[in-house]
């Protein structure tokens, strides 16, 4: 065989011999061409690897729609009678798919006779995702696809609505998908070599029941399955693993998967309906999957380069401790409908699937009452920790750095505790979307695009976090209502606290200092901005844009470069009183019916020039507010009503040494600026 291959290659390369090729056998017998000996010149621009060349005849594409007897009678490359002892045989052909625009190399449909396709090279149906395959069976049974080379196709081998076929010993490479079965049952997929395919379904995908998958070698993308009673044994998965698409417990329990399957040379453990598993049950693990298991202990495993490191389906009361599940394709740890588990001290770094734009360190779906603590999840392509539709979980003391999407992302989650985490240099530090009644407290959110974000989330508590050097420190966005933002230290961000298009939020007792904007409301409605320290922001202290009916009260707004507080032309119905302003430019109001006092008391203005003859603490003449509104504070205060160093009201110390330039008109920060921020928790009221 090898000597013949060599001679063929020499003849092709030196003499440019032209070969006879057979025409396409079409669904209509009238379309079948009689010129079996049609000649065409072999094109030099087709790049076929030498290893894939066969001793074979060059052929056009083949389409058989139950017309086997005609095909056998008219084409020399088809022999046999279609019976079990004498199947139809198509073998030793090379078929160029011609870039895939015209379909499959070999398509067999509506066939139930016995046939075998063997030793063929099929390639170049490369319109990605088109469904055009090297070999495709549709509504076909009793076929054998044996030792074929399939490369550079959209799908290497594709079975659709096809049962009782055998796919064995084939090489499938550089395709969009490898071997793909859709609604196909009772097939045997064995001994195939699959590598270099680009889609996440580039290995073997089984969407069907009662199939047997054994002895295959898969590189990069592994095996995905959705169905019942499928059996997997003796498969070798390199830089890949097993992925389960089925989510029903009945389907998952029906699968037969034993430890003879190897992932990166180590065992794939698939346990179902087990209790009290321990270290001895996970010896030399390459991938771990638990279905309906409880009270088990998974620790100190090192699992990498697989699809998902450790997976729990419908499993509760387990401990997952001190494992390294980094450098996996999709997820490090994955829990589905699994409750009351303790996940601590694990490393889940560098998980990424560039094709899916996916890759999470720790991923929980529909899982409740779990504790996720003291884990490290860095450099993942998606999120470090990702929870979807999960309630009453605790996310405590984790370190999450440089994740492409976010450090912690909660989507449609309620009643979770997110406390004491370090989220640094992610796109979003902590992100809650469509989530209700969660507590986000005492986290460090630094150097992210957005430090802490609420979007379409209500009744959440954001408290005592340190949020610095982000583009937006705390972002309350798009229908995020009735949230409380309290006692956070927010500094060195472009926007300290940014609220957009949201109702009834409370921004209370925060330190918003050294930002571009201290507190920014863009479409804030019925928001209470109370008792905040807003100092030394390099643009504005408080800025309202298109914001209505908000209350700004008891804030200290000092030493902001451009202005203390600004209301733009679309602001209406806001009330500003009992604040202290000491800025070069204290305020500007370009809006409509805004109020700068409550009818009894206004604000303290450091540049107020009026007197208080009756010593009632209120100036005798109004304070004029610059801006198009021509507004006034009718009851300006002679003294700031708020103690700057009130430890009970403001749990910090602010020590500032400044120099005053031009008689106090401009605050010079260049001489010396010392900031000391010390958190003080009241022992009588612990959080």
Please check whether residues 610 and 564 belong to one and the same domain.
Answer: yes
Token pair belonging to 225: 């399955």
Question: What is the rounded CA–CA span in Å between residue 461 and residue 121?
Answer: 63
Q: What is the pLDDT of residue 14?
A: 33
The strand pairing partners of 474, in sequence order, are 452, 497
Q: What is the pLDDT of residue 682?
A: 32
Q: What is the pLDDT of residue 196?
A: 80
Q: What is the pLDDT of residue 428?
A: 97
Residue 252 lies in a domain: no
User: pTM for the full model?
Assistant: 0.84
Given CA atoms 659, 584, 581, 480 in this order, what sign does their dihedral have? negative
Residue 444 lies in a domain: no
What Rg do the C-alpha atoms of the chain give, in angstroms?
Answer: 35
In which domain, by residue range, is 464 found? Answer: 449-651
Please check whether residues 418 and 491 belong to one and the same domain.
Answer: no
Give pLDDT < 70 ranges for the chain. 1-58, 99-102, 127-130, 199-201, 354-357, 644-687
Count: domains in the chain: 3
Residue 44 lies in a domain: yes
Which secondary structure element, helix H or strand E, spans residue 512, and what is its range? strand 511-513
pLDDT tens-digit profile of 333-375?
A: 999 999 999 999 999 999 987 655 679 999 999 999 999 999 9
The strand pairing partners of 320, in sequence order, are 298, 343
Residue 670 lies in a domain: no
Contact 541, 565 (CB under 8 A): yes
What count of other Cβ atoms lies within 10 Å of the Cβ of residue 670? Answer: 8
Please check whether residues 416 and 461 belong to one and the same domain.
Answer: no
Please check whether residues 498 and 589 belong to one and the same domain.
Answer: yes
Please check whether residues 295 and 415 belong to one and the same domain.
Answer: yes
Residue 671 lies in a domain: no
Alpha-carbon distances, residue 565 vs 393, 560, 588, 606 (angstroms): 40, 9, 7, 14
CATH number of the domain within which 363 lies: 2.160.20.10
Please report where in the chains the tokens 């996996």 appear, as a residue. 328
Please check whether residues 420 and 454 belong to one and the same domain.
Answer: no
Residues 6+ apart with CB under 8 A from 138: 107, 108, 109, 110, 160, 161, 162
The residue from 412, 437, 462 where one domain ends is 437
Residue 260 lies in a domain: no
User: What does DSSP say about strands 57-59 and 38-40: parallel, antiparallel, or unpaired?
Assistant: unpaired
Contact 502, 477 (CB under 8 A): yes
The residue from 437, 471, 492 where one domain ends is 437
Question: What is the rounded CA–CA span in Å between residue 557 and residue 169?
Answer: 75
Please check whether residues 623 and 474 belong to one and the same domain.
Answer: yes
Strands in 580-582's sheet, in edge-to-edge order, are 399-401, 422-424, 444-446, 466-468, 489-491, 511-513, 533-535, 556-558, 580-582, 604-605
Which DSSP letter does residue 24 get? Answer: P
Please check whether residues 389 and 478 belong to one and the same domain.
Answer: no
Please check whether residues 463 and 565 belong to one and the same domain.
Answer: yes
The residue from 416, 437, 458 where one domain ends is 437
Residue 684 lies in a domain: no
Token pair belonging to 567: 């209301």
**If DSSP states are collapsed to H, E and C, what string results for 598-644?**
CCCCCCEECCCCCCCCCCCCECCCCEECCCCCCCEECCCECCCCCCC
Q: What is the pLDDT of residue 6?
A: 41
Residue 678 lies in a domain: no
Please check whether residues 286 and 171 belong to one and the same domain.
Answer: no
CATH number of the domain within which 90 lies: 2.160.20
Token pair belonging to 116: 């075998």
Alpha-carbon distances, residue 406 vs 449, 610, 659 (angstroms): 9, 52, 41
Please check whether residues 407 and 455 belong to one and the same domain.
Answer: no
Please check whether residues 382 and 501 belong to one and the same domain.
Answer: no
Alpha helix ranges (H) inside 480-621: none
């Amino acid at each position: 065989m090898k000597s013949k291959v060599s001679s063929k290659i020499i003849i092709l390369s030196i003499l440019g011999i032209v070969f006879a090729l057979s025409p396409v056998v079409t669904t209509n017998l009238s379309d079948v061409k009689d010129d079996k000996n049609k000649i065409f010149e072999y094109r030099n621009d087709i790049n076929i690897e030498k290893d894939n060349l066969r001793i074979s005849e060059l052929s056009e594409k083949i389409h058989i729609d139950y017309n086997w007897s005609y095909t056998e009678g008219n084409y020399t490359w088809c022999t046999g009678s279609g019976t079990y002892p004498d199947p139809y045989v198509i073998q030793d052909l090379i078929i160029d798919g011609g870039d895939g625009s015209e379909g499959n190399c070999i398509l067999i449909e509506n066939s139930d006779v016995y046939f075998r396709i063997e030793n063929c090279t099929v390639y170049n149906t490369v319109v990605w995702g088109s469904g055009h395959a090297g070999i495709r069976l549709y509504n076909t049974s009793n076929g054998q696809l044996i030792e074929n080379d399939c490369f550079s196709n959209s799908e290497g081998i594709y079975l659709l609505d096809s049962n009782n076929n055998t796919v064995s010993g084939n090489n499938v490479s550089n395709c969009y998908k490898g071997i793909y079965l859709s609604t196909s049952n009772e097939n045997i997929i064995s001994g195939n070599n699959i590598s270099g395919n680009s889609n996440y379904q580039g290995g073997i995908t089984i969407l069907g029941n009662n199939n047997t998958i054994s002895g295959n070698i898969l590189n990069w993308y592994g095996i995905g399955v959705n169905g019942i009673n499928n059996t997997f044994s003796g498969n070798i998965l390199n830089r890949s693993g097993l992925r389960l698409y089925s989510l029903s417990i009945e389907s998952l329990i029906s699968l037969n998967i034993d430890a003879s399957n190897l992932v990166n040379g180590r065992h794939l453990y698939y346990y179902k309906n087990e209790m009290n598993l321990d270290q001895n049950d996970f010896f030399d693990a390459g991938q771990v999957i638990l279905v309906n298991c409880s009270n088990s202990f998974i620790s100190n495993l090192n699992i990498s380069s697989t699809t998902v490191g450790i997976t729990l389906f419908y499993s509760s009361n387990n401990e997952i401790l001190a494992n390294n599940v980094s450098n996996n394709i999709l997820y490090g740890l994955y829990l589905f409908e699994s409750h009351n588990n303790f996940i601590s001290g694990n490393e889940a770094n560098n998980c990424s699937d560039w094709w899916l734009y996916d890759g999470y360190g720790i991923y929980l779906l529909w899982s409740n009452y779990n504790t996720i603590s003291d884990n490290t999840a860095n450099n993942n392509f998606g999120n470090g920790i990702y929870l979807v539709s999960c309630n009453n979980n605790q996310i405590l003391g984790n370190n999450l750095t440089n994740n492409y999407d976010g450090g912690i992302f909660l989507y449609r989650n309620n009643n979770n505790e997110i406390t004491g985490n370090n989220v640094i240099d992610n796109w979003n530090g902590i992100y809650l979307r469509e989530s209700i009644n969660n507590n986000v407290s005492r986290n460090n959110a630094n150097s992210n695009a957005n430090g802490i974000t609420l979007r379409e989330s209500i009744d959440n508590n954001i408290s005592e976090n340190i949020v610095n050097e982000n583009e937006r420190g705390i972002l309350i966005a798009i229908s995020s209502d009735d949230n409380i933002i309290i006692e956070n230290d927010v500094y060195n961000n472009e926007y300290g606290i940014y609220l957009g298009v949201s109702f009834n939020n409370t921004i209370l007792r925060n330190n918003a200092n050294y930002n571009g904007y201290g507190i920014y409301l863009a479409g804030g409605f019925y928001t209470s901005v109370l008792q905040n320290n807003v100092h030394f922001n390099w643009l504005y202290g408080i800025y309202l844009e298109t914001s209505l009916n908000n209350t700004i009260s008891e804030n200290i707004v000092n030493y902001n470069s451009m202005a203390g507080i600004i209301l733009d032309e679309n602001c209406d119905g806001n009330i500003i009183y009992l604040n202290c302003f000491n800025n070069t430019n204290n305020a500007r109001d370009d809006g409509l019916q805004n109020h700068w006092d409550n009818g009894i008391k206004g604000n303290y203005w450091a540049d107020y020039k009026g007197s208080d003859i009756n010593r009632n603490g209120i100036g005798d003449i109004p304070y004029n507010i610059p801006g198009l509104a021509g507004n006034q504070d009718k009851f300006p205060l002679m003294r700031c009503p708020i103690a700057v160093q009130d430890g009970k009201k403001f749990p910090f110390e602010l020590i500032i040494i400044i120099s005053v330039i031009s008689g106090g008109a401009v605050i010079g920060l260049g001489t010396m600026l010392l900031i000391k921020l010390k958190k003080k928790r009241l022992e009588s009221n612990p959080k």
